[in-house]
């Protein structure tokens, strides 16, 4: 029995648990999100690892055919380059390697592929702390988010893609005897079915979530038999390089080419993305990033899966406890300094104010209390730095600092706070700008980063209409809604759902609209302009291969 089949048997019960979770959609994760669930010395070892990795060549990847070393990542916490260099390959080399590997991986059985990929996730699990520090010092995510998002939560999404892929690929039998009675005789045929992979997959990463946003498409392509090229953002390579390294190791252990998965590193000045994306050999493209480039990716004559920019709204109508609601919103807008695709940007509030259990609170008082809630969070020396993290890109930092350019009334200025551990960290607290509803030319675009627009509306119906118009024009990944009126909630749900946007109602406490759980929540719907894909529905997997049936008399 070969090693990879042993791996399938080793991980079969985990696969069955994952398949069951997909059906039930309840909480499920085999990868604990609390760092304390892992080895006591894991964090210390990871600190030593990141120190050794900086200013060195990343030599653990397959380097066959490389033509140099390149890397230009900068730590948002240290404000200096991390100095890691990666093997650089020409597009021709990457594509030739992928084509040769494709012929082998495409013929590898679904059971073998499943065992290998879940085993790789087990290996990645052993590197969660390394990945956390790699994510921190490339994206600016604070430690806890770096650990959870790039570690267990990313592994959850990767396993989800494997499970959905396995389900799709085993939904049709490999063979069947087909008999049709024609009276005096039977017409008999032997029929067989094969799932044929579409071909080389290109997965384009983003600078803010280099692992979480990359692994769904990567593992979806791999489980369906497609050799994959991972093209990370030039400023966020190190964390996903670890994942590729572990995949390559497991492939090699099972006598398969490492080049089934390759890391394609480039620079901002000499990009490789379009060269690869436009090549005829590349059949699948996954992309996370801005809408302009995402629209270009969607225009390619290929199968594409995109997550682009969306403009997320909160409709604030009526609440039981205003303080807990505003505290929740303050955290959602401050988490990773708003550098999340699910972060809320526009808060629609009626000029009449917000009804609470204690009575009506005037609009001006609600807005003042929101600013106070944000200030209270970011000024808290224990909570502020760990919530905000650091700003990944200088462009985002400058946009936040120059919020007066938006033409509204700045209610809360952005400021820098001190992170005691990283004195040089690039930090900007959320800025709150009040806009009139007539200023839709301002709030109908994604202003990436810690920028919050408060929009004064006529009433809740006006708020709903403005949010709906915005979604249809620009797309959204999520919508938050607060109302104690069941009829209002139903109207919001119907309106936003018909525009293919999910709604999170009355979130307080530890529930935040930013977060979506694998095996339960779909990430994006694929139905509006925020992106054409959904992590991880059946289509996210089934579009990566083609069913072909043969018949024999």
Contact 548, 194 (CB under 8 A): yes
Do 293 and 329 fall within a single domain?
no
Catalogue the E-assigned strands of 478-520.
479-482, 503-505
Same domain, yes or no: 14 and 106? yes
Last residue of a domain, one of 468, 489, 505: 505
Please state, in angstroms and rounded to a whole number, the distance separating the CA atoms of residues 223 and 453: 42
Q: How far is CA 2 from the centre of its chain?
A: 34
> pLDDT tens across 278-328, in order?
999 999 999 999 999 999 999 999 999 999 999 999 999 999 999 999 999
In a domain, 123, yes or no: yes
Q: Whole-angstrom Cα distance, residue 430 to residue 408? A: 15
Contacts with 280 (C-beta within 8 Å, 6 or more apart), sequence order:
none
What tokens does 79 get? 């404000």
Tell me the per-residue pLDDT of 225-276, one tens digit each, with 9 for 90 and over. 999 999 999 999 999 999 999 999 999 999 999 999 999 999 999 999 999 9
Q: Are residues 285 and 357 in the same domain?
A: no
Task: Examine the domain organization and report whether 297 and 329 are in the same domain.
Answer: no
Looking at the fold, whether 50 and 182 belong to one and the same domain comes out as yes
Residue 522 domain-assigned (yes or no) = no
* 490 contacts: CB under 8 Å, gap ≥ 6: none
Q: Is 289 helix (H, G, I), strand (E, B) or coil?
A: coil
Q: Are residues 327 and 303 in the same domain?
A: no
In a domain, 359, yes or no: yes
The Cα 321–Cα 349 span in angstroms is 16
Residue 516 lies in a domain: no
Give yes or no: residues 344 and 489 share one domain: yes
Residues facing residue 193 across a β-bridge: 549
| Same-domain pairing of 228 and 337 | no
H or E stretch covering 27 = none
CA-nearest of 376, 333, 310 to 513 is 333
Judged against a pLDDT cut of 60, whether residue 1 lies above it is answered with no
Are 159 and 268 part of one and the same domain?
A: yes
- Using the 3D structure, point to which of 469, 485, 505 is the last residue of a domain: 505
527 part of a folded domain: no
305-317 pLDDT per residue, tens:
999 999 999 999 9
Same domain, 192 and 337: no
Tokens 């109302």 belong to which residue? 483
Residues 288 and 320 reside in one and the same domain: no
Measured CA to CA, the distance from residue 87 to residue 229 in angstroms comes to 14
Q: Evaluate whether residue 269 is within a structural domain.
A: yes
> Which CATH number goes with the domain that contains 22?
3.40.605.10
Q: Please give the residue range of the domain that contains residue 287.
A: 3-308+533-552
Residue 512 lies in a domain: no
pLDDT-derived band at 382 (thresholds 50, 70, 90) equals very high
Assess whether 303 and 450 both reside in one domain: no
Taking a C-beta distance cutoff of 8 angstroms, is the pair 280, 518 a contact? no
Q: Assign residue 452 the CATH number of its domain.
A: 3.40.309.10
Distance (Å, rounded) from C-alpha 297 to C-alpha 277?
A: 8
CA 68 to chain CA centroid, Å, is 30
Position 114 pLDDT exceeds 90: yes
Domain assignment present for 10 = yes
pTM of the entire predicted model:
0.96
Q: Report which DSSP code applies to 78.
A: T
CA distance linking residue 234 with residue 237, whole number of Å: 6
Instruction: Reply yes or no on whether the pLDDT at 2 is more than 60.
Output: no
What is the helix, strand, coil percentage profile of the chain, to 5? Answer: 40, 20, 40
Q: Two tokens at 457?
A: 């509306």
Q: What one-character DSSP code corresponds to residue 223? A: H
The total number of structural domains in the chain stands at 2
């Amino acid at each position: 029995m070969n090693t990879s089949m042993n791996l399938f048997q080793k991980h079969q019960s985990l696969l069955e648990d994952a398949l069951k979770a997909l059906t039930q959609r309840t909480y499920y994760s085999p990868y604990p999100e609390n760092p304390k669930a892992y080895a006591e010395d894991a964090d210390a070892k990871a600190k030593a690892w990141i120190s050794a990795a900086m200013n060195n060549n990343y030599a653990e990847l397959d380097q066959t055919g490389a033509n140099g070393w390149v890397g230009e990542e900068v730590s948002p916490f240290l404000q200096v380059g991390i100095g890691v260099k990666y093997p650089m390959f020409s597009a021709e080399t990457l594509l030739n390697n992928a084509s040769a590997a494709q012929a082998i991986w495409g013929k590898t059985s679904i059971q073998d592929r499943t065992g290998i990929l879940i085993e790789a996730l087990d290996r990645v699990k052993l590197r969660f702390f390394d990945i956390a520090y790699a994510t921190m010092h490339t994206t600016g995510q604070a430690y806890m988010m770096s650990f959870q998002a790039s570690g267990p939560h990313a592994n959850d999404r990767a396993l989800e893609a494997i499970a959905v892929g396995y389900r799709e690929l085993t939904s049709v039998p490999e063979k069947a005897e087909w008999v049709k009675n024609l009276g005096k005789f039977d017409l008999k045929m032997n029929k067989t079915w094969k799932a044929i992979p579409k071909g080389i997959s290109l997965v384009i990463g983003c600078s803010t979530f280099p692992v979480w946003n990359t692994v769904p498409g990567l593992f979806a392509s791999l489980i369906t038999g497609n050799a994959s090229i991972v093209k990370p953002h030039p400023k966020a390579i190190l964390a996903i390089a670890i994942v590729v390294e572990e995949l390559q190791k497991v492939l090699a252990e099972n006598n398969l080419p490492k080049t089934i998965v390759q890391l394609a590193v480039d620079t901002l000045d000499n990009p490789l993305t379009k060269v690869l994306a436009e090549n005829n050999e590349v059949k699948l493209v996954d992309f996370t990033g801005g809408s302009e480039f995402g629209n270009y990716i969607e225009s390619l004559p290929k199968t594409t899966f995109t997550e682009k920019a969306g403009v997320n709204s909160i409709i604030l109508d009526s609440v039981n406890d205003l303080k807990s609601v505003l505290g929740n919103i303050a955290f959602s807008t401050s988490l990773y300094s708003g550098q999340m695709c699910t972060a809320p940007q526009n808060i629609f509030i009626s000029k009449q104010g917000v009804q609470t259990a204690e009575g009506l609170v005037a609009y001006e008082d609600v807005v003042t209390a929101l600013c106070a809630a944000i200030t209270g969070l970011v000024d808290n020396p224990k909570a502020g730095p760990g919530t905000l993290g650091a700003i990944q890109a200088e462009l985002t930092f400058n946009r936040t600092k120059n919020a007066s350019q938006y033409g509204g009334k700045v209610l809360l200025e952005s400021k820098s706070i001190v992170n005691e551990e990283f004195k040089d960290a690039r930090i900007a607290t959320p800025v709150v700008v009040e806009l009139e509803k007539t200023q839709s030319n301002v709030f109908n675009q994604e202003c990436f980063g810690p920028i919050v627009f408060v929009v004064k509306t006529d009433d809740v119906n006006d708020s709903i209409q403005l949010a709906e118009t915005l979604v249809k024009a620009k797309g959204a990944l999520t919508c938050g809604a607060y109302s104690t009126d069941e009829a209002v909630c139903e109207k919001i749900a119907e309106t936003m759902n018909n525009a293919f946007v999910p709604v999170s109602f009355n979130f307080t406490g530890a529930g935040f609209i930013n977060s979506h759980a694998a095996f339960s929540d779909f990430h994006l719907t694929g139905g509006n302009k925020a992106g054409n894909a959904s992590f991880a529905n059946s289509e996210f997997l089934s579009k990566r291969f083609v069913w072909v049936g043969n018949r024999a008399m």
